[in-house]
Amino acid sequence: MKIVYMGTPDFAVPALKALANDPKHQVAAVFTQPDKPQGRKMILTPPDVKVCAQELDIPVYQPASMKTDEAYDLLKKIAPDVIVVAAYGQILPERVLKLPPYGCVNIHGSLLPKYRGAAPIQQAVLNGDAVTGVTSMLMDVGLDTGDILLKKETPIGENETSAELFDRLSVLGGELIRETLDALEKGTVTPQKQDEALATHTSKIDKSMCPVDFTQTAQKVHDQIRGLYSWPVATAVICGKRVKIHKARKSDKSGKPGEILSVRPLVIACSEGAIEILELQPEGKKKMTAEAFAAGHQLQIGELAE
């Protein structure tokens, strides 16, 4: 198949590589978001997909909007058999969706119809799900509402973070899209309507979700810490210092919510069970082990964190 690939962040890179390295397909062009200023110095930085496409010697286009006549005419000129979309970050108008003979196929980081929307991977971890996966679907004008083509499931590890799950699902998405395009070309896949009664939606992750509430169970706190890593990262106040909690695990200790039960290891009680903090980052400091933090602060057993 002749493919136009649309994607932007690192999540979309493995699928691009998988298609570019498949002799059965030709990635004729890559569409990605415009370069954006990043970091304290606001250096203009290309998206990960653009960097990958240039390394693969694939033409790259970065229209500010796919709703313009210029963008549509460019796609018509390329004349793809299919458009593959993975975390592109732009809404495709109906005329673009209808342009390729095989339609526009999206790689989504959940088992649809569960977790439509902006943050399906983080939400699965935040909710403490045991299983997630990736879905390929035919895009329509709705938000992740198109017909399902294929799915791949994978378990979520007890201590797995969103960042780790992102990496695994991105690779799984690359495997899935190759299988999906092969099945579409052979006519061996039948699109399935999504069950709207089972649909759930996710909103964007933001910093208002960061503060840890130790009156929650240890499982909920653990899921919050895993789900918000590596951005925006869960936070707490320990020994009067606001810290980001990068890594933790559940403990079988118990006590009053927020109470420091042990200093080395650093264990804090929740409403049920406790959390052992492994890595944290005080404001203005670099990430460190909880042991290093304890060595530099006068932590006391029985002191309350919040």
Based on the fold, state whether residues 182 and 276 are members of the same structural domain.
no
Cα–Cα distances (Å) from 63 to 56, 74, 277, 298, in that order, read 20, 10, 44, 55
- Which residue, 108, 129, 104, is CA-closest to 120? 108
- pTM given for the model: 0.94
pLDDT band at 39 (very low <50, low <70, confident <90, very high): confident
Give the separation between CA 96 and CA 112, rounded to whole angstroms: 23
Length of the chain: 306
Tell me, yes or no, whether 303 lies in a domain.
no
Tell me, yes or no, whether 160 lies in a domain.
yes
Based on the fold, state whether residues 197 and 220 are members of the same structural domain.
no
pLDDT band at 139 (very low <50, low <70, confident <90, very high): very high
Based on the fold, state whether residues 126 and 240 are members of the same structural domain.
no
CATH number for the domain harbouring residue 243: 3.10.25.10
Q: Give the count of domains, the chain.
A: 2
pLDDT band at 298 (very low <50, low <70, confident <90, very high): confident
- Condensed to tens digits (0 to 9), the pLDDT of residues 147-190 reads 999 999 999 999 999 999 999 999 999 999 999 999 999 999 99
- Condensed to tens digits (0 to 9), the pLDDT of residues 221-267 reads 999 999 999 999 999 999 899 999 999 999 999 999 999 999 999 99
Give the separation between CA 94 and CA 71, rounded to whole angstroms: 13
Please report how the helices 13-20 and 162-186 are oriented relative to each other, as an axis angle in degrees rounded to 10.
30
- Domain, as residue range, for 142: 2-202
Tell me, yes or no, whether 142 lies in a domain.
yes
